[in-house]
Structure 1
Amino acid sequence: MLLDMAGEFQTALWETAWMLGIATLFSIIIGVPLGIFLFATSKGMFWQNKMIQSLAGTIINIFRSLPYMILLILLIPLTKWLLGTTTGPTAASISLTIAGIPFYARLVETALREIDRGVIEAAEACGASSWLIIKEVLIPEAKSGMIAGLTITMISLLGYSAMAGMIGGGGLGDLAIRFGYHRFQTEVMIATVIILIILVQLIQWLGDRLAKRAKKVAQS
């Protein structure tokens, strides 16, 4: 039975990779600057602004507090407006992206807070501009933590992508629901779970290796 569905599994795996790739890319592109902004506007930092920091933090926390399924449903009108459809992996990637950005932004902020303040103060004492500090101090020092945070984000997004299959998002979740649940093909459900476990392990393994390498570079 599973061999007969090899094509279905291949398509579902590609759709999951597509959703995860889009969401991860935009989580990096927007989440990293947003996390840096949250850190830089916090108390004692070079862009300190309590009002802006609180406002941005509140908005991020609102999105983070929403369960993914609720967020997925809330974003259906936006998805329809942007793409003209609410089904398929590309449509599902919009909700994944909106879920991933605030999640990763907070992890980036956390990684930055682990930097020794003395390093930042030393750069400021040398007359370095805020942008130079971000480029030459913050990002290099926090890179290991940011990679670890991205690993966590990708694993979370992988789980969300499976849930997106419940409303026609495609991917492994959709395959498990259509065949494993509605058609009572238990072997399909089990195979899907095994594939997701393998993907999580691969992401975690690669993320750990990259994080360790970045940490060694920062310490050298």
Structure 2
Amino acid sequence: MAEFFASKDWQTFLDVLPSIPAETWDTFYSTVVSTLFALVIGLPLGVLLVTGEPGGVRPLPRWVMRLLNGVINLLRSVPFLILMIIVIPLSRLIVGTSIGTVASIVPLVIASFPFVSRLVETSIREVDSGVVEAAQSMGATPLQIITKVLIPESMPSLIANATIAATTILGYGAMAGVIGGGGLGKVAINYGYYRYNLVLEIFATALLVVLVQVLQSIGTRLATRCDKRVQKTKG
């Protein structure tokens, strides 16, 4: 044990330890911001995938739906590591650099919004068609059906799926350390994997697991509070 605490790995761990809080915050920050941007883009796209199909509340031309589905499927099929490299020029154009926490947000959003749109599509499809038909019979417009029926009725599922998206984005963000992204991924890869420092690698991974658990717990609580069925049971 004394030899371990005197080893180079332990000394490197002590040298890097003061920067861990900042790296943890960078990981949390990039995850939250990327999730928010992915929701801003993915939520309306997911709604369109349902409402714009034939028989939907606001059908769109077939070529528009095919184009929309094709773009989403194409982006989802590209592995994240490859996508990060492809969008490096775009990251430089938007944020002025391709290295660091802020730069990693660009590929994170591009990789995650198609995934989010499919999750939103799944949530919207879970809404009882009878509720939609009732709203239509009362003269509700497509926008009113979307904002006052589809989204409110699917809110518990939307929150649960947003939590899944956030934890997935957290994992993507850790991989961004390969191309110079910040956060715990950088610590695990640059100081742990590349320098064969098992202590730092395990420590950074453990912190990522803790963050996932925190996000999952928060998302589960919010989804439960929004679920009318759970509230009725408690009442």
TM-score (norm 2): 0.89
Is 1:76 aligned to residue 114 of structure 2? no
Residue 179 of structure 1 corresponds to: 191
Q: Which residue of 2 aligns with 1:120?
A: 132
- The farther-off stretch of 6-15 and 105-114 is 6-15
Residue range with higher mean Cα deviation, 134-143 or 42-51: 42-51
Amino acid at match of 1:11: A
Further displaced range: 194-203 or 41-50: 41-50
Structure 1 residue runs without a partner (length 5+): none
What are the within-5 Å matches in structure 2 for residues 7-26 of structure 1? 7-26=18-37
Secondary structure, aligned partner of 2:154: helix
Q: Which stretch of structure 1 is more off in the superposition, 76-85 or 150-159?
A: 76-85
Measured against aligned partners, the alpha-carbon deviations of 1:6-36 in whole angstroms (never above 9, x if no partner) come to 3221121121122112211101211111111
| Range 159-168 or range 27-36, more displaced | 27-36
Whether the 8 Å contact between 2:177 and 2:185 is mirrored in structure 1 is: yes
Amino acid in structure 1 at the alignment position of 2:219 = G
Q: Does 1:133 align with 2:145?
A: yes
SS at match of 1:138: helix
Q: Highest Rg: 1 or 2?
A: 2
Contact 1:180 1:189 in 2 (8 A): yes
Using the TM superposition, name which of 7-16 and 143-152 deviates more.
7-16
SS state at 1:85 partner: coil
Q: Is the 8 A contact 1:141 1:218 kept in 2?
A: no
Q: Give the superposition deviation at 1:58.
A: 1.0
Unaligned runs of 5+ in 2: 1-9
| Normalised TM-score (structure 1) | 0.95
Cα distance in 1 for partners of 2:69, 2:110 equals 15
* Of 55, 59, 65, the match for 2:67: 55
Aligned partners of 2:114, 2:172: CA distance in 1, in Å? 14
Structure 1 stretches of 4+ with a deviation exceeding 6 A read none
Change over 3 Å in CA distance of 1:39–1:181 after alignment to 2:
same
My pick for the range that moved more, 101-110 or 77-86, is 77-86
Corresponding residue of 1:33: 44
Secondary structure (helix, strand or coil) at the match of 2:118 reads: helix
Shift of 1:201: 1.1
8 A contact 1:80–1:86 mirrored in 2: yes
Residue by residue, what CA displacement relative to the aligned partner does 1:90-118 show, whole Å, maximum 9, x if unpaired? Answer: 10000001111111111001100011111
- The answer (yes or no) to whether the contact 1:123–1:133 under 8 Å persists in 2 is yes
User: 1: CA distance between counterparts of 2:96 and 2:150?
Assistant: 40
* RMSD (CA atoms): 1.5
Query: What SS class does the counterpart of residue 170 from structure 1 fall into?
Result: coil
**Residue aligning to 2:3:** none
Counterpart contact for 1:164–1:170, Cα < 8 Å: yes
**Which residue of the other structure, out of 103, 115, 121, is the alignment partner of 1:109?**
121
Sequence identity percentage: 42
Shift of 1:158: 0.5
2:7 corresponds to which residue? none
1:202 deviates by: 1.1
Q: How many residues align?
A: 220
